[in-house]
Chains A and B, each alone.
Chain A
């Protein structure tokens, strides 16, 4: 008994010093916000309410112009019906500064969880250079298990008046890119952020292998190859990517397998293509599993 009382004392003492969990964290379903604790309000310098209103009115003009365009597009009622094979429709390219501003670059050092650094820059060859270094060193605080990553991701697709929208890519079946890498493999992330908190972290991935060297590399990846994951875990219940719900496009690189060091990925454009020769719906098996084993 004496020992147990001692133990309690230590616990109390430790509780004062740092907050910690003595058991696994009990956060099962409900998630407060989309970043799952990674958006620290202290890091943002939000302007005051008054400033927000003034700034908001300034944007009214451009937003109304956008809205007019949307309405006239709808009234015209002239959608593209036939997507000609072999034609690439570019979604993102890197012609000027505005194209760079569509992307957000993050790395583990943003959250004080590591030392990786990354940036996206415009090159002379009219392309975006995603470069920096990934470092798997971290402060051993007991919470972080592994680190060393960098991401680039587009801003959320928006309609006029800053309303959330999604891409509609249902007419295409291939992702086309022109890249120049450094031999590392990157991860292509297509986020399909849903309405409910369970679907906030839905993402579809595929690997982007780069050749390295001075030559450009043409990449064509059928959307059927993309597999589903949430918060970095491949899901048991798989399905083909819902192409009308794509919200973000992104690339990741990590220092996995002791590959700490600089990285370079140059992207000329990211586009879409309809390829009639590609008939595959989904590249992964969808057979029935035993009860209570899968997705449990």
Chain B
């Protein structure tokens, strides 16, 4: 009876979403039963909250302790839900082995339907839903299951089990999109900022395969204040464009802008100029005539001579010459300060001497804009969200 009561209570608590305290409070409000109830109510503690060290070892240990506690493994659904909730805290939410150990908690054979009605009407629904939720959490965290997991699920729910269906769907779709990105980033993304910046600059410069990614140290520059690193990307074509740049017109260092690599972001700066409209117009004119177009045929007998056709061998427009400006170089620095960017220009001057004659201006965007979420402190986290204040966009 006590066990039944405990299960019931856990189920009610989960479904009603009543905090544990209020549950006891409600019970104790009934005065005639007050003392008896207090004596009989078991104390349910969440073992995951009380863990001293939140590591993978302790997590797996707790699962194995639960498994070995008794033959019946009572409350295993509640246990799995509690475990799923706390996985991120233990840093095991992307670990397939841990998910497997949780599936291992389920008894084998018992939940396999033996006839068609059981199969169709979701035999042992709570248990099946629990494992579906587990698989869903794996999906959300981008963990692709493996064939061992299929065998485990087969042992628990049989081949007509709903978790199996979920598993097959995941195994069909997830690998299709896993490596689809044309700009792959290691999973998890590196936590070293310098490494991350190199990846980011390489990715941005992939537009031009001749781009050269270089790492500079500001120590090389005399009278530089910030001693840091600079990852810079520039191609031959961009150097050429820089030498062709009309001298009195200034060029800009624009930034910082943001680039995301998985869940990490890097600030970068671009060296650019306003679009050279004359040049762009020339490119437009030079476009090879469409010989199929019969809408403007000219008669060569009267009037002025037709202008000579432009040579097909003409200089092509570079990818860096965009309608909104010409891009000369991209960089990410260790400190993202004005001084480090000044050092970047000094270092670029070595390979592009023309830079010393061009005025360089800074065009800074403020990082802390009005639309950026302030980093929440510990005290903020405890407060409930004030959803009233959020304006609808």
Contact = CB atoms under 8 A, between A and B. Distances in A.
Interface in B151-200: 160, 165, 168-169, 173, 176-177, 180-183, 200
A13 B183 contact: no
Interface in A240-271: 256-264
B324 interface: yes
A215 B180 contact: no
A213 B204 contact: yes
B272 interface: yes
Interface in A80-95: none
Contacts of B168: 293
Interface string B315-326: 000011011100
Interface string A88-129: 000000000000000001110110100101110000111000
**Interface on chain B toward A: helix, strand, loop, or mixed SS?**
mixed
A259 B206 CA distance: 23
B390 A109 contact: yes
Interface residues of B, number: 65
Interface stretch (B223-231, B260-268, B347-355): B260-268
A125 B268 contact: no
Nearest to A135: B373
Interface string A134-145: 010111011000
A133 B372 contact: yes
A198 interface: no
Contacts of A65: none
Interface stretch (B12-20, B52-60, B277-285): B12-20
A214 interface: yes
A125 B327 CA distance: 15
A105 B203 CA distance: 29
Contacts of B263: 257-259
A234 B177 CA distance: 13
A171 interface: no
Contacts of B262: 257, 259
B9 to A, nearest CB: 9
A262 B319 CA distance: 27
B390 A183 contact: no
Contacts of B232: none
A215 B322 contact: yes
B230 to A, nearest CB: 16
A105 B372 contact: no
Nearest to B176: A284
Interface stretch (A1-9, A55-63, A157-165): A1-9
B142 interface: yes
B232 to A, nearest CB: 13
B115 interface: no
Contacts of B272: 214
Nearest to B180: A207
A183 B268 CA distance: 12
B166 to A, nearest CB: 11
A182 B259 contact: yes
A34 interface: no
Contacts of B180: 207, 209
B97 to A, nearest CB: 20
**Interface on chain A toward B: helix, strand, loop, or mixed SS?**
loop
Interface stretch (B25-33, B62-70, B100-108, B337-345): B25-33
Contact of B120 (A6, A20, A261, A292): A292
B183 A211 contact: yes
B259 A213 contact: yes
B212 interface: no
Contacts of A216: 322
A68 interface: no
B5 interface: yes
Contact of B207 (A135, A207, A215, A258): A215
Contacts of B77: none
B258 interface: yes
Nearest to A120: B393
A215 B328 CA distance: 11
B387 A215 contact: no
Interface string B350-393: 00000000000000000000011100100000001101001111
Contacts of B207: 211, 213, 215, 217
B385 A9 contact: no
A10 interface: yes
B270 interface: yes
Contacts of A132: 371, 393
A28 B260 CA distance: 40
Contact of A139 (B261, B327, B384): B384
Contacts of A256: 140
A214 B204 contact: yes
B257 interface: yes
A14 B18 contact: yes
Given A2-B33, A207-B180, A213 B268 contact: yes
28 contacts: A2-B33, A20-B17, A21-B15, A22-B16, A43-B392, A106-B393, A107-B393, A109-B392, A117-B371, A118-B393, A125-B324, A146-B140, A182-B258, A183-B183, A183-B265, A184-B260, A209-B180, A209-B181, A209-B183, A213-B207, A214-B257, A215-B319, A215-B322, A217-B207, A257-B141, A264-B257, A292-B120, A293-B165
User: Which 3 residue pairs are nearest across A and B when measured between Cβ atoms?
Assistant: A213-B204, A212-B259, A142-B17
Given A10-B12, A292-B160, 5 more contacts: A110-B393, A137-B376, A183-B265, A261-B373, A262-B258
Interface of B: 5, 8, 12, 15-18, 23, 26-27, 30, 33, 37, 119-120, 140-142, 160, 165, 168-169, 173, 176-177, 180-183, 200, 203-207, 254, 257-263, 265, 268, 270, 272, 319-320, 322-324, 327, 330, 371-373, 376, 384-385, 387, 390-393
